Amino acid sequence: MRYLIASDVHGNLQALEAVLAASPAWDRLLMLGDLVGYGAQPNEVVERVRDLAPYAIVRGNHDKVAAGLDGAETFNPAAQHAAEWTRATLSEGNRAYLAALPRGPLIVDDRLEICHGSPADEDEYIFGEGDVAEALVRARQPLCFFGHTHFPMVVALTPEGDLDMLRQGAGDHDPVRFDGGVRLLVNPGAVGQPRDGDPRAACALFDGDTGEIRLLRMAYPVEEAHDRILAAGLPKVLAQRLLVGR
């Protein structure tokens, strides 16, 4: 079974389409939340995802705000502006779809689980070593995919209890093999708003038969996503950051 893992699309249809078009073959799609927020095409992205019918999907913090389940008080002004615009722009049906998305973590199979922020809290950011260590302990499955930070990484907890940062950040990384013994925490990076200095869309592929995990990057028409954000009257900074992947 081959899984395509996609997180943080953030209303960027061009990036999502590029990932779907350029990804190696997969059987099941896993989505880690934040379909909307920041980007100019929330309805188009939600409808595309509804058509794709992911095998498993969890909501993200931006989905909650766009669905009206949560306020945007904790967001910075640009994110707040985008969240309010997104909520107003979404069709009723798409808003209802986001409102009904499950809270993570979700167990996907006998080895794998997915969440948005962390296995303990969908809104929590996993950044430092302490966060990583706690998440690896809290995860109920040995292989846990998370999103939210928009920063690709693969980190292992060895049987000896040591943390081993296997891959992180931008770059064309060699695959990692998941073969039991270790516990792995994997962030595929963001499809629609990368923040590791590489503007290309990010996603991951996990082959359940070979155990191979690959962090992938796909070029997409960034200028188009940029122009659509400006045309929608959304904050300029949200358009500009796409060009530099920050």
Binding site for Zn ion (CB under 5 A): 8, 34
CB of 13 to Zn ion, least distance (A): 16
Which of 34, 122 has the CB closer to Zn ion? 34
Among residues 168, 166, 175, 164, which one has the least CA distance to residue 153? 168
Rounded distance between C-alpha atoms, residue 245 and residue 175, angstroms:
22
**Beta-carbon neighbour count of residue 165 at 10 Å?**
11
Which of 64, 95 has the CB closer to Zn ion? 64
Q: What is the residue type of 241?
A: R
Which of 63, 113 has the CB closer to Zn ion? 63
CB of 177 to Zn ion, least distance (A): 28
CB of 10 to Zn ion, least distance (A): 6
| Sheet architecture: strand order including 153-157 | 106-107, 112-114, 143-145, 183-187, 153-157, 163-168
10: left (phi over 0), alpha (psi -120 to 50) or beta: left
CB of 190 to Zn ion, least distance (A): 6
Which of 62, 183 has the CB closer to Zn ion? 62
Query: CA triplet 168, 17, 13: central angle to 5 degrees?
Result: 90
CB of 17 to Zn ion, least distance (A): 18
DSSP letter for 210, please: T
Q: Are 157 and 182 in contact (CB under 8 A)?
A: yes
Which of 8, 44 has the CB closer to Zn ion? 8
